[in-house]
């Protein structure tokens, strides 16, 4: 047969499908095509996660915000590079409930001595090898190491890179304060006072930890 | 597989086993005392260990009846969300007797069968019975 007749027959078979079905099949094929890439990127590299709850206030989910924070989390640093630092906000599986994911801050790593908060029974603890002490920034509403003790590092899944939603809080963790330059009383600006309060909280957290210098993985 | 902590069930090296990752994800309640599981080590985030489940959350475990790693009268109540694991070769195994109960979230998979060496091929059935 002539080649053009064969081609005609092939194109005609598409025309037999109703148009919505054809576009559905095309879009399903696109999803299937991209699914492995998206899966690998979100499982090994970066993914977005909604943070809910009050345990990391005021750093995440402050009461002044109408939205729950959506954060960009980095799995590569934890899964592959095993790069843990004190002060990182991380997502980890809860040791009390394997289906629950907690977002907390690493306060201390293996070997450090930590002054604990109630309800932990001992006033001081040395974090064992391969474990970490995690706490939420809001000590009164936080389900953290002060309740269940040090957690194995293997439970930690990913590290928070930045907040991406709401737009007013984009990158909020690392933004330097903006103060109007021609004010004569910078210490009365609310932005300055908020920043100083954040610094104070950081100092209080660091003061409760006696760190040992780490030259290895942990 | 490597390491002598599960002798005589599993040899120290040179064996190939099949891990079952799906059944614990689909049905986490199917974890039973006596299953051989693969767990990420609580003391080393890069290591994985293969041990047997001895206790489930809520059980009271006698830590070490032989008195080697703990006084033989010491008992532990396993908290919610944790399990107690122990290697079959109790003389040479670092397990919950040393690092305490392990969170369930660290479990990777259950062992299903050994396929190499061929003369020792077996499916690991859980043959634990409760003595009354």
In a domain, B64, yes or no: no
In a domain, B40, yes or no: yes
In a domain, B65, yes or no: no
Give A11 or A108, the one with higher predicted confidence.
A108
B94/A contact by beta carbon, under 8 A: no
In a domain, B50, yes or no: yes
CA angle B111, B114, B115 (to 5 degrees): 135
Name the minimum distance, in Å, from the CA of B54 to any CA of chain A.
18
Name the residue among B41, B79, B107 with its Cβ closest to that of A130.
B41
Residues of chain A in contact with residue B41, where contact means CB-CB under 8 angstroms, are 130, 152, 154
CATH number for the domain that contains residue B93 = 2.10.109.10
pLDDT tens, B22-34? 999 899 899 999 9
Name the residue among A82, A130, A152 with its Cβ closest to that of B103.
A152
- Give the count of domains, chain B: 1
pLDDT of residue A3: 57
Domain containing residue B48:
4-55+83-128
Residues of chain A in contact with residue B82, where contact means CB-CB under 8 angstroms, are 95
Residues of chain A in contact with residue B45, where contact means CB-CB under 8 angstroms, are 82, 130, 152-154, 156
pLDDT of residue A5: 55
Task: Please check the confidence at residue A181 and state whether its pLDDT lies above 90.
Answer: no
CA atoms within 13 Å, Cβ hemisphere of A118: 1
| DSSP bridge partners of A91 | A103, A158
Share of chain B above pLDDT 90, in %: 55
pLDDT of residue A91: 94
pLDDT of residue B1: 64
Asked whether the beta carbons of residue A95 and residue B82 sit closer than 8 angstroms, the reply is yes
Residues of B with active-site annotation = 5, 51
Give A173 or A57, the one with higher predicted confidence.
A57
In a domain, B90, yes or no: yes
pLDDT tens, A10-47? 555 555 656 778 888 889 999 999 999 999 988 889 99
pLDDT of residue A218: 40
Name the minimum distance, in Å, from the CA of B118 to any CA of chain A.
34
Share of chain A above pLDDT 90, in %: 47
Asked whether the beta carbons of residue A95 and residue B103 sit closer than 8 angstroms, the reply is yes
- Spans in chain B with pLDDT lower than 50: none
Split at pLDDT 50, 70, 90, the class of A155 is very high
B70/A183 Cα distance (integer angstroms): 66
Q: Return the residue in A90, A92, A95 with the most chain B beta carbons within 10 A, the one to mutate for interface testing.
A: A95
In a domain, B9, yes or no: yes
**Helix residue ranges per DSSP H, chain A:** 3-16, 19-40, 76-79, 145-148, 190-207
Name the residue among A98, A131, A156 with its Cβ closest to that of B104.
A98
In a domain, B78, yes or no: no
A200/A210 Cα distance (integer angstroms): 17
Residues of chain A in contact with residue B108, where contact means CB-CB under 8 angstroms, are none
A211/A61 Cα distance (integer angstroms): 29
A118/A122 Cα distance (integer angstroms): 9
Asked whether the beta carbons of residue A131 and residue B103 sit closer than 8 angstroms, the reply is no
B27/A contact by beta carbon, under 8 A: no
User: If you count residue pairs, one on A and one on B, with CB atoms under 8 Å apart, how many are there?
Assistant: 55
pLDDT of residue A216: 45
Average pLDDT, chain A: 84
In a domain, B108, yes or no: yes
Asked whether the beta carbons of residue A154 and residue B28 sit closer than 8 angstroms, the reply is no
A136/A90 Cα distance (integer angstroms): 10
Please tell me which residue in A65, A104, A158, A216 is annotated as part of the active site.
Answer: A104
Name the minimum distance, in Å, from the CA of A36 to any CA of chain B.
19
CA angle A148, A204, A134 (to 5 degrees): 25
Name the residue among B79, B81, B106 with its Cβ closest to that of A152.
B106
| DSSP bridge partners of B38 | B50, B109
Name the minimum distance, in Å, from the CA of B17 to any CA of chain A.
23
Read off the DSSP letter of residue B40: E
pLDDT of residue B127: 84
> Which bin fits B18, alpha (ψ -120 to 50), beta or left (φ > 0)?
beta
A158/B contact by beta carbon, under 8 A: no
């Amino acid at each position: 047969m002539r080649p053009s007749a064969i081609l005609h027959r092939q194109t005609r078979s598409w025309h037999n499908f109703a148009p919505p079905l054809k576009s559905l099949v095309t879009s399903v094929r696109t999803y299937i095509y991209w699914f492995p890439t998206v899966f690998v990127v979100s499982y090994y590299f970066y993914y977005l996660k909604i943070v809910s709850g009050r345990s990391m206030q005021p750093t995440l989910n402050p009461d002044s915000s109408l939205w729950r924070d959506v954060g960009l989390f980095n799995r590569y640093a934890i899964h592959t590079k095993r790069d843990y630092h004190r002060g990182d906000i991380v997502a980890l599986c809860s040791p009390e409930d394997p289906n629950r994911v907690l977002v907390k801050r690493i306060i201390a790593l293996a070997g450090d001595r930590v002054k604990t908060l109630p309800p932990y029974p001992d006033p001081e603890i040395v974090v064992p090898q391969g474990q970490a002490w995690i706490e939420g920034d809001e000590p009164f509403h936080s389900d953290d190491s002060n309740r269940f003790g040090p957690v194995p590092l293997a439970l930690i899944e990913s590290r928070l890179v930045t907040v991406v939603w709401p737009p007013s809080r984009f990158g909020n963790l690392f933004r330097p304060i903006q103060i109007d330059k021609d004010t004569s009383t910078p210490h009365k600006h609310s932005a300055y006072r908020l920043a100083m309060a954040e610094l104070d909280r950081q100092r209080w957290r660091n003061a409760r930890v006696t760190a040992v210098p780490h030259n290895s993985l942990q | 597989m490597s390491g002598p902590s599960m002798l005589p069930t599993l040899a120290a090296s040179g064996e190939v086993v099949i891990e079952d990752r799906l059944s614990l994800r689909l049905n986490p309640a199917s974890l039973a005392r006596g299953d051989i599981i693969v767990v990420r080590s609580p003391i080393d985030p890069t290591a994985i260990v293969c041990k047997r489940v001895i206790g489930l959350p809520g059980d009271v475990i006698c830590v070490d009846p032989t008195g080697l790693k703990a006084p033989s009268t010491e008992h532990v109540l396993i908290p919610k969300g944790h399990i107690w694991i122990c290697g079959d070769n109790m003389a040479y195994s670092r397990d919950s007797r040393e690092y305490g109960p392990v969170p369930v979230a660290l479990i990777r998979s259950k062992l299903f069968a050994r396929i190499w060496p061929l003369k020792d091929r077996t499916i690991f059935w859980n043959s634990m019975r409760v003595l009354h």
